[in-house]
Structure 1
């Protein structure tokens, strides 16, 4: 098995530089970091934390790495993970990846060094060498909410396809035709799935999707507000703005209100991902709700099966549409 000295020689750098890359040091340039990562892949180098984590006694701890702790969906899911794990006699250590692969890897490495018994990861947009090593060497690992293409890892996630079709049919019944979508990042499985479902639903309902009505955000409020502003500045603005997650919906809501527009009279608003305070707004926001708590509980159960080296299958739970008044009067 290749060691750190082999990686250094292959990349033409010092052992200290390889160490800095492994520890996410900001002192390494992007070019040098890429050389080291390429050498690690070529040599199938496994960071010590991955290998050592497979040769230890149980610690009764689990690691949870989520995309964004500020997102209410992830917060609710994390709470359920903690509750379920505690009931099973485990402690959970949480890391916030902040949607950054390098920060995700920092927490993966740290948790492995702490000898957690298993990892729950809401993966960022790409499969990093470290996560690939976890899979290759059989670390107990389960993906939560998202998946990575080509990786044989059980996942626990929600499927919003049917709910998005329900939403578009609801919008159509209310008489709307110009529907804009603030999608999530194409690199994330959830961004791709929601965009595909939206486009399919629009075609099914005979509604056109204009190029100017489709733009990708980053699952953050600022991008939702900026994209909503561009939609509303169009010569023919949309009648409905559908945001691909709750934070982007919040940003769109801020922009609509900043312009003094009324929901749904001037523009309707809908969100993927429901949050508790949507029902308290005037008007309440129509949203697709995911079973965050059940996802968290099921993920812990699947991971504990993996810890015990038992065969497991992925879990897919349905999301559902909650109709309120932000797209217009609800049907009787």
Structure 2
């Protein structure tokens, strides 16, 4: 049976071009696609992924492990990774770690057994022995959205520090002084970074950081609801509840509405992580938007450069503040 090299030779193109055609990549000219298709038909070539892997030690697949696929941020991120990988001639296999280290390790093992050409991981908080082994092996690995301390791994992430500072200044300008924060888990790099940015911004604006106004959630809606309830039960409740991600903001929104309170008249609401449905809430929710699509594209490019043995520098993208009416702003809703 003819192999991919014979197809490439008959079509007068490279093996990489044949691979892109077989993987339906758009990065191929119509002329080259027609030549490859004619050669495939003439030679009666039938690609076999397993056999191709054994011959070339490449499967043209990438592994992506996300923290929680239910989170809209990770869903958008995964779509962007898949689209960019497809353009480069790769298929993506996705695993949902559900923020559990043991489940993350399960997917790492499974993907390595399937001989993926590289791994993109949004790591959980724990540095597991398996992750250390992957780093030590030096294979194509890139951390996405989050980092792990003590590990020399290229990362592609978002820095929300400036946007959080802008948000606190914006709230201060609207007359708010009592600003509570539902932070993410301290063990996660994103949880620590957002908490530090909130504290730094409060101090820089001359606002008091009150212990009772700062509590860590788990990036899930139920924790946002429970913590918002405790904030609202305080003798002096906050004027603003700032949630550290979109799911905790959803939980906080549910609790505020369950109590019959009005946003922003009784309490204002802001979120880190902008999602599509925020513009459909009345009033629309002020949020810090992460460039999830660009994050996914850049991560795939970094991983492929890593797979080719090229050095990869860390990529840090800025977040941006989207002002809407949930904090008392007036004016046209921004998308």
- 306-315 or 155-164, larger mean C-alpha shift: 306-315
Counterparts of 1:127-206 in structure 2, within 5 Å, are 127-206=127-206
Counterparts of 1:212-231 in structure 2, within 5 Å, are 212-231=212-231
Residue matched to 1:20: none
Distance 1:331 1:94 in 2: 41
User: Unaligned regions of 5+ residues in structure 2, if any?
Assistant: 1-52
Distance 2:199 2:331 in 1: 24
Residue 115 of structure 2 corresponds to residue 115 of structure 1: yes
Q: What are the Cα deviations for residues 199-228 of structure 1, in whole angstroms up to 9, with x where unaligned? A: 000000000011000000000000000000
Residue matched to 1:232: 232
Residue matched to 2:43: none
Pairwise CA RMSD = 1.5
Counterparts of 1:34-53 in structure 2, within 5 Å, are none
Counterparts of 1:253-272 in structure 2, within 5 Å, are 253-272=253-272
SS in 2 for 1:321: strand
Q: Shift of the alpha carbon at 1:139?
A: 1.5
Distance 1:330 1:102 in 2: 47
Q: Shift of the alpha carbon at 1:56?
A: 7.2
SS in 2 for 1:80: helix
Residue 275 of structure 2 corresponds to residue 275 of structure 1: yes
Residue matched to 2:90: 90
SS in 1 for 2:235: coil
Q: What are the Cα deviations for residues 133-154 of structure 1, in whole angstroms up to 9, with x where unaligned? A: 0000112100000000110000
Given that 1:179 and 1:238 are in contact with CA atoms closer than 8 Å, whether structure 2 keeps it comes out as: yes
Write out the 4+ residue segments of structure 1 that deviate beyond 6 Å after TM superposition: none
Distance 1:171 1:275, change over 3 A: same
SS in 1 for 2:76: helix
Counterparts of 1:67-78 in structure 2, within 5 Å, are 67-78=67-78
SS in 1 for 2:151: coil
Distance 1:94 1:324 in 2: 34
Q: Shift of the alpha carbon at 1:265?
A: 0.1
Distance 1:233 1:302 in 2: 47
SS in 1 for 2:68: coil
Distance 1:289 1:202, change over 3 A: same
Given that 1:270 and 1:327 are in contact with CA atoms closer than 8 Å, whether structure 2 keeps it comes out as: yes
Residue 277 of structure 2 corresponds to residue 285 of structure 1: no
Residue matched to 1:34: none
Counterparts of 1:314-325 in structure 2, within 5 Å, are 314-325=314-325
Given that 2:77 and 2:296 are in contact with CA atoms closer than 8 Å, whether structure 1 keeps it comes out as: yes
Residue matched to 1:308: 308
Given that 1:323 and 1:330 are in contact with CA atoms closer than 8 Å, whether structure 2 keeps it comes out as: no
Residue matched to 1:102: 102
Given that 1:56 and 1:115 are in contact with CA atoms closer than 8 Å, whether structure 2 keeps it comes out as: no
Give the TM-score, by structure 1 length.
Answer: 0.83
SS in 2 for 1:95: strand
* Bigger radius of gyration: 2
Distance 1:242 1:209 in 2: 13
Q: What are the Cα deviations for residues 58-104 of structure 1, in whole angstroms up to 9, with x where unaligned? A: 10000000000000000000000000000100000000000000000
Distance 1:297 1:102 in 2: 27
Q: What are the Cα deviations for residues 36-68 of structure 1, in whole angstroms up to 9, with x where unaligned? A: xxxxxxxxxxxxxxxxx9x97010000000000
**Aligned residues between the structures:** 280
Residue matched to 1:241: 241
Distance 1:330 1:135 in 2: 50
Given that 2:323 and 2:329 are in contact with CA atoms closer than 8 Å, whether structure 1 keeps it comes out as: no
Distance 1:206 1:331 in 2: 27
Distance 1:258 1:138 in 2: 51
Q: Shift of the alpha carbon at 1:329?
A: 2.3
Q: Shift of the alpha carbon at 1:331?
A: 7.5
Distance 2:56 2:97 in 1: 26
